[in-house]
Structure 1
Amino acid sequence: MLIPSTVEDAVALQSALAPSVVRTAPPGFAPRTATGLDVAYAAGSELVAAAVVTVGIATGEVLESATAIGEATFPYVPGLFAFRELPTLLTALDRLRTTPDLLVADGHGLAHPRRFGLACHLGVETGLPAIGVAKTPMADYEAPRPARGSTTPLWDGGDEVGAALRTQPNVKPIFVSIGHRIDLATACTLVLALATRFRLPETTRQADHLSRRTLRAQQAH
């Protein structure tokens, strides 16, 4: 993928690509697996470790995983994290034997100032259905009811850009948004199915653990 040389070019590229996002699921969409993606950063250097982990949606069982080591060459700018993470994530994705049914990014999709967060970029770049699942919001919301499965809208500038989703009773919500080729209701249903025991979906948990292990192993060499 093309990495812009300046922040201004990166912002312009996001704005140009945002209309490519498809906000509906393919006909008959019924994914059996979901692939989580995450990146671990080395302190004091540009070294990154990317991990992708495919799990069964019904079981939470890990079916396949892959990793890649790279460098985050683009500067650390809020709203532009995709340009730091995508190249290494795409390398890891290419190492999977089976094409994912669904991508679950550790970050935002439409819930982004230019409606083109990491999940959107991943989806448009790969052509795969994608969901953004973030731990912190980039939009306004009211707290959902305490019960598991409760949601409230995420609002940005009058636009509904995602949902605050309570995955466990009385636990802080997570923030779900469309990445590509999916609708918000389906995205929330799938994230809830992936988060049966913990606040975060199993895809995110497994990819986070693997990226950290991979980074530690690389640094030990």
Structure 2
Amino acid sequence: MNDPAVEQAVRLQLGMAHLVEQTAPAGFAPKVAVGLDVAYAQDSDRLIAAAVCVDMTTLTIVDSAVHEAVADFPYVPGLFAFRELPALLPALAKLTTSPDVLVCDGQGLAHPRGFGLACHIGVETGLPSIGVGKQALGQFEAPGPTRGDWKPLVDNGETVGRALRTQDDVKPVFVSVGHRIDLDTACDLVLKLSPRYRLPETTRAADHLGREALAGRVGVQDVRD
């Protein structure tokens, strides 16, 4: 059965995809990266959106915020932004530190319509953004076994991202442009944010905070350090 909300969301993605900029601002040298993630409650539409600011030099957490919401959009592959953006944007607004780049647990250009969550939130906020996915949306050859090795991620003959090895002999992550950044710069930043583990420290911190808040171990109203 056709869902008008889903059809409208698809049209919106198609209509906004041309707004994505695949170049970084002049002199781009981010000092604070923000990890974004959403934790979902089991057997309900309750969710917690987490935003965590990480210092690019020390990789320490300098600010964080969460926002609790109830998803009002269905679970549809390729349309996760419409479930998560309504909570992620308020979480970002609660931060007291100004972010320089957003690191999303999801896709950017590596998306059926070239407009994944990282693109959508980048265009909405005007901030440079990167998609770092755990799963590939496209085809790729396995990169070499060494940290920093990569291979193109391809969809319909077009390069939409990279399979990037962030640690020796671990599964790659899948990096794609979100907005106002190029692929080389995006991959360099992901490597800087991933000195020890497969996933960037931004993603790990946001995932941890969201789960803690969902479990009630962190007060949703109190998290703003």
TM range (shorter): over 0.9
SS across alignment from 1:14: helix
Q: Residue 151 of structure 1 aligns to which amino acid in structure 2? A: W
Question: What corresponds to 1:170 in structure 2?
Answer: 169
Q: Residue 131 of structure 1 aligns to which amino acid in structure 2? A: I
Question: What corresponds to 1:106 in structure 2?
Answer: 105
C-alpha distance in structure 1 between counterparts of 2:53 and 2:219, whole Å: 26
Q: Residue 135 of structure 1 aligns to which amino acid in structure 2? A: K
C-alpha distance in structure 2 between counterparts of 1:39 and 1:15, whole Å: 24
Runs of 4+ more than 4 Å apart: 218-221
User: Normalised by the size of structure 1, how large is the TM-score?
Assistant: 0.96
C-alpha distance in structure 1 between counterparts of 2:81 and 2:165, whole Å: 26
Shift of 1:32: 1.1
In structure 2, do the counterparts of structure 1 residues 171 and 82 end up closer, same or farther at CA, with 3 Å as the change threshold? same
Quick check: 2:213–2:219 contact (8 Å CA) kept in 1? no
Shift of 1:36: 0.2
Question: What corresponds to 1:145 in structure 2?
Answer: 144
Shift of 1:59: 1.3
Alignment of 1:148-159 (within 5 A): 148-159=147-158
SS across alignment from 2:216: helix
User: Normalised by the size of structure 2, how large is the TM-score?
Assistant: 0.94
C-alpha distance in structure 2 between counterparts of 1:220 and 1:161, whole Å: 39
C-alpha distance in structure 1 between counterparts of 2:4 and 2:48, whole Å: 22
SS across alignment from 2:167: coil
Q: RMSD between aligned alpha carbons?
A: 1.6
Structure 2 residue 34 is the aligned partner of structure 1 residue 35? yes
Question: What corresponds to 1:15 in structure 2?
Answer: 14
Q: Percent identity?
A: 60
In the alignment, structure 2 segments of 5+ residues that lack a partner are 221-225
Quick check: 2:48–2:213 contact (8 Å CA) kept in 1? yes
Structure 2 residue 114 is the aligned partner of structure 1 residue 88? no
In the alignment, structure 1 segments of 5+ residues that lack a partner are none
Shift of 1:99: 1.8
Question: What corresponds to 1:212 in structure 2?
Answer: 211
Q: Could you report, residue by residue, the CA deviation over 1:19-56 in whole angstroms, capped at 9, with x for unpaired residues?
A: 00000000000001100000000111110001000001
C-alpha distance in structure 2 between counterparts of 1:184 and 1:156, whole Å: 15
Question: What corresponds to 1:202 in structure 2?
Answer: 201
Shift of 1:71: 1.0
Q: Residue 197 of structure 1 aligns to which amino acid in structure 2? A: R
